[in-house]
Structure 1
Amino acid sequence: MDSYSDTPFNLSSICLSNLLTVVSMSTPHDIITIHINIICKKLKSFEALRLLIIFKFQFKLTVIYVAFVILMITLTSFTLFIILNNVKYYSRHGYLLSKFNANN
């Protein structure tokens, strides 16, 4: 092996490229398990531990972010649904037009 292939940067990029290949065809639990195995084979134990902690933290943040986005979309659609139903109700009974004409 030449000295370039033994650098930590190159090993990290190999590890990440292998992970990206696995991501498309695995469940999150499988991804974490395979990621641990790839790192332990290709990197030193300290760097493997550091990358593992970063990966797990990133995965948790991603799950929290996706849950937050879904919650915001649900709340926004529910609020818009209530507002539009109120507008339909009041416009059907003439409340909006009478208030608009009273102000002018």
Structure 2
Amino acid sequence: MNYINGKSPVKLTTHLSDNTFTERELEIIFFSYQGLSSKEIALRLGISRRTVENRLCGLYQRANVHNIQQFREFCKDLSFDYYIPESFLQPKIIVIEAVNA
């Protein structure tokens, strides 16, 4: 829960090479990976808890997993553990893109 608790992660990205998921799904993935419950995710996104649960169910099916631990491993394998939706960044934060030399 590094991002949620205000801790600075070692590495951070707002872009993913995988275009499999919609922006809303990525928001749900982000909060789910950070350990928030469906109810907490729903409150933050302004949608119903049931909508979050339905989306998570669909995400689990697409990832071919059966529980949150497996889903977190799936996300980690895709480097989603370093992902934060750009819309979640505060206005005065400067995003620096690293250039491989």
TM-score for both structures, normalised by structure 2? 0.26
TM-score for both structures, normalised by structure 1? 0.26
Higher relative contact order (CA 8 A, sep 6+): 2
Q: Which has the higher helix share?
A: 1
